[in-house]
Amino acid sequence: MDSLDAIILGIIQGFTEFLPVSSSGHLEIGKAILGDNSLPEDSMLFTVVLHFATALSTIVVFRKDIWNLFAGLLKCKWNEETQFSVKIIISMIPAMIVGLFFEEQLESFFGGNIAFVGAMLLVTALLLWLADRSKNTGRKVSNNNALIIGISQAIAMLPGISRSGATISTSVLLGNDKSKAARFSFLMVVPLIFGKIAKDVLSGELFSESINYTSLGLGFISAFVCGLIACTWMISLVRKSKLSYFAIYCVVVGLIAIGVSFI
């Protein structure tokens, strides 16, 4: 992968990570268009690094929330921040199980299977359409809700299923407030991404001779910058209930991807 391709894919990741259109699905489509012939495990590694960049942009946008969570935990009391942190931990369990025990099976989906990506985008569209018709409430995410949302996040590890779309839609369909659902969705993925990067560092996967670190770095930077813009924009869109627009977009891209796969 050359530097220009990495920058383009970084821009795609940055703008689509927080929008409910599946960043991993768009990355797979982008790789196919650019003619990337990376092995599934290398393709997966590049995707994880770009997700790490957008996780950092999440920290920047939600720095006050994250600082308040840490401050609340340091008080060692069962306060609102501690309860929220427990919910984040609960939500991580399903994705951790998938990541630890089904990593090889998951990597097999990151080899340019555009028809599969297209089909999953149609699933994402359905979730967004249903969520956009739910009434806004003042309810917070409960512990049981956190586990169900976590299962949605685990399923969304498949390319084409939007992580933010699936988790926000699931949360809203469970009756939770839309803005609270978006905040929870964006924060719940940060520990997982950092955990995955730490695992790859310790296992040596980030130090392979086949890795083009220049391309990886350029992709990282472009994903981080674009992620800062998209994260702020997405919060506003969720509050204004415009998810149906993205549902239409997912249907169009999904059908095109399926159609192209048969050419």
pLDDT tens, residue by residue, 37-52: 665 556 667 777 888 8
pLDDT at position 148, please? 94
Average pLDDT over the chain, rounded to whole? 82
pLDDT at position 184, please? 85
Amino acid letter for position 162: S
pLDDT at position 186, please? 78
Cα–Cα dist 29/101, whole Å: 26
Q: The domain containing residue 27 runs over which residues?
A: 3-261
Residues 6+ apart with CB under 8 A from 254: 117, 118, 119, 120, 121, 122, 124, 125, 160
- For residues 156 and 21, is the Cβ–Cβ distance under 8 A? no
pLDDT at position 38, please? 62
pLDDT at position 210, please? 62
Candidates 219, 230, 213, 168; CA nearest to 52 is: 219
- For residues 185 and 167, is the Cβ–Cβ distance under 8 A? yes
pLDDT at position 177, please? 81
- For residues 165 and 124, is the Cβ–Cβ distance under 8 A? yes
pLDDT score of 208 more than 70: no
pLDDT digits (tens, 9 = 90+) for 109-120: 776 678 888 999
pLDDT at position 5, please? 87
pLDDT score of 13 more than 90: no
Residues 6+ apart with CB under 8 A from 118: 160, 253, 254, 255, 256, 257, 258, 259, 261
Cα–Cα dist 99/157, whole Å: 9
pLDDT score of 258 more than 80: yes
Among all chains, which residue has been given the structure tokens 């990597």?
A: 107
Provide the number of structural domains found in the chain: 1
- For residues 52 and 194, is the Cβ–Cβ distance under 8 A? yes
pLDDT at position 120, please? 92
Average pLDDT value for residue range 195-212:
66
